[in-house]
Structure 1
Amino acid sequence: MDYEFKKNTLDGSYHATFSMGHEIIGRWLIEEVGKDFEKMDTILSQIGALKNSTKEWRLLGDDLSLILQDHEAIIQANYLFSEEEEDFDEDMHFYDEESVSCCGFEDFELVLQAWQAFVTRF
């Protein structure tokens, strides 16, 4: 998984660009985490606690949520939690694939630590 963090020096906004299949992780970092160091520390603590566990932990966000389970971090759009079956056409399937991403705890921990260092520095 490749990624790059940037800060717009004109307006102070952050940008997180991730490789294909992981784009939603960048969106989650920007929209749901930002510079919330307490949230980052909580997530990192949960990853450490769950490394040798089969338990699940969720952090529900406004639009995107994090699920830690089975040694994987899953970011997904909240609308995918809906239990109602909706009739979408075939094109929506591709959109759904861009609305969820997962990676192992180790990779996710490195990403979150890199984000934390980046927003601390800038």
Structure 2
Amino acid sequence: MEYEFRNDPTSGQAKALFSLEQQMIGPWLEVEVGQNTEMLSALLVAIEKIENQHQHEITVTGSEYSVTFTHDDVFVQPNTNLNGIEDMPEELISEQLNIDSQAISACGLDDFRQILLSWAKFTKN
């Protein structure tokens, strides 16, 4: 999986750029996690619960995106998918993120944990 973290030169905000297959993970990290250490801890606890088989599936719904943990994979999707809304208004679709072509991003549980830890380290600096 290819990804890169950068600081936006204009705003100074942390940006997460992912390959096409995982493109939803970037804005999810930026919007839902950001520098929120409590959210980061909750996500790492969710991964631990799944790995220890305390739960089979956990969904964390944020303000714009949701993440679902299963035993093998993690799925990130915009909440519009969960609400059954098929088409987003033109004004909300950016050129960099084509929601219609990639409505859900998935990766392995271990890879996702590494992304979270890398993001935490990047945003801490």
TM-score range, shorter chain: 0.7 to 0.9
Query: CA distance change for structure 1 residues 68 and 87 in 2, over 3 Å: closer, same or farther?
Result: closer
Aligned-pair CA distance for 1:8: 2.6
Query: CA distance change for structure 1 residues 116 and 64 in 2, over 3 Å: closer, same or farther?
Result: same
Q: What is residue 50 of structure 1 aligned with on the other side?
A: 50
The structure with the largest alpha-carbon Rg is 1
TM-score (norm 2): 0.82
Pairs within 5 Å for 1:97-112: 97-112=101-116
Gaps of 5+ in 1: 89-93
The letter of the residue matching 1:112 is L
Aligned-pair CA distance for 1:9: 4.6
Q: What is residue 17 of structure 1 aligned with on the other side?
A: 17
Q: What is residue 93 of structure 2 aligned with on the other side?
A: none
* Equivalent-residue separation in structure 2 for 1:33 and 1:95 (angstroms): 20
The letter of the residue matching 1:49 is K
* Equivalent-residue separation in structure 2 for 1:61 and 1:87 (angstroms): 20
Q: Number of residue pairs matched?
A: 115
* Equivalent-residue separation in structure 1 for 2:87 and 2:122 (angstroms): 41
Question: Percent identity, aligned pairs only?
Answer: 30
Aligned-pair CA distance for 1:23: 0.8
Gaps of 5+ in 2: 89-97
Q: What secondary structure, in the 3-state scheme, does the structure 2 residue paired with 1:96 have?
A: coil
Are residues 1:27 and 2:27 paired? yes
Output one character per residue of 1:8-67: Cα deviation in whole Å (capped at 9) or x when no partner.
Answer: 354221111101111110010001110001110110111012114251111101111011
